[in-house]
Amino acid sequence: MTSSPVDPLRLERTRRYIFLALLATLATAIHTVEYLFPTPAPWFRFGFANIFSVLALYLFDFRAAFTVTLTRIGFASLLLGRIFSPGFFLSLGGGLAAVALMSLACHLGKRYFSPIGVSVIGAVGHVFGQMLLAWLLLVQHPGLWSLFPFFLFFALVAGLINGFAADFLLQTIRRHPSFSEAPTNRPTESL
Amino acid sequence: MALKPLWRRMTVGDRLLVSGLILFCVFFLSLRSFRAAGVHLIVEQNNQVTYKLALDTDRVINLDGPLGPSNIVIEDGAVRFIASPCPNQVCIGMGCASKSGDLLACVPNRLLLRITGRSGRDLDYDLITR
């Protein structure tokens, strides 16, 4: 695939743009469709879009994961007509907390956690971020936190499912020529 | 079972993390079942207590929030939302609350329903409006 004489740094950057654009688009589409789908309980979402944040985190770095997440929440909220509504801020808080925790877990605990564990941490972060924002914006009541284990349990299930999906996807995507090159061909990190 | 390949994909850290979180949830959720049955329902609107109702009288209550009217029903000592103008209907999905310390909230409509247990003084009225 890289037989043409092209600046490897530029190639790398272009690949990154294209993959991030694809991941962000898929995440936006899934986020939107998930909101239109009926769910067993009205507040319950699987958060499948988080799979793509995990992918960006593992294929690239934490900045890529933030890019994908912010793009997804921004565009999906625009499409759903709920931008700047309380629900949007809850999404945003949850998403940011999830990516922040996942980045930390991925950088500090790469030896201990697979993408599955990182996705579960992301789900926990999502619940935590949402509750924190709900606390700050809507209800300042200590009783809010008594709901935490309840939501955490469902987040755990969703995080596990997303984690397995992300793990399978990563395995597949890493076979793509863009990622399966020998490390010597890849440009070293510059500045 | 089909779960075996999935289990094999997880690292030891993953398994510890998941089992730790499950234990955390089970512990805090099981605390709930040991609590006493509730006696009163406290309704807070916009962080202010607006009603205090006895749970032993069955009734349907209409509560006005910023989005419109929410309906709650008290039945057999338990309270639940039956109708709400909020977009996601999270409050209806929360089901019933009957034990002391239980909580139901409709965040978009700024409603908080709290169950309290038997306090020191026994109330001889069944509804207070403030």
CA A189 – CA A104 distance, rounded (Å): 20
pLDDT at residue B120, rounded to an integer? 41
- Residues A95-144 have pLDDT tens digits of 999 999 999 999 998 889 999 999 999 999 999 998 898 888 876 666 67
State yes or no: ipTM above 0.85.
no
CB–CB of B21 and A124 under 8 A?
yes
Taking CB atoms and an 8 Å limit, are A147 and B11 in contact across chains? no
Phi, psi (degrees; rounded to nearest 5) at B85 = -85, 0
Q: Does A120 touch chain B if contact means CB atoms closer than 8 Å?
A: yes
Which amino acid appears at position A99 of this protein? Answer: V
Whether A153 contacts chain B with CB within 8 A: yes
- Strand B59-65 relative to strand B127-129: parallel, antiparallel, unpaired? unpaired
- Closest CA of chain B from A43, distance in Å: 5
The CATH number given to A8-179 is 1.10.1760.20
Structurally, at CATH architecture level, domain B40-129 sits in Sandwich (2.60)
Give A 49-68 residues with CB within 8 A of chain B: none
Q: Are strands B96-97 and B103-106 parallel, antiparallel or unpaired?
A: unpaired
CB proximity A187 to B under 8 Å: no
Q: Which pLDDT score is estimated for B122?
A: 42
pLDDT, tens digit, 9 for 90 and up, residues B117-130? 875 444 445 566 66
What is the residue extent of each domain of chain A? 8-179
**Tens-digit pLDDT profile for residues A27-46:** 999 999 988 887 766 567 88
Contact B115, B51 (CB under 8 A): no
Measured between CB atoms, which of A86, A147, A148 is closest to B108? A86
State the pairing for strand pair B40-45/B111-116: antiparallel
**Does B12 lie at the interface with A, CB-CB under 8 angstroms?**
yes
Say how far apart CA A10 and CA A4 lie, in whole Å.
Answer: 13
How far is B44 from A143, CA to CA, in rounded Å? 12
Q: Between chains, do B21 and A149 touch, taking CB under 8 Å as contact?
A: no
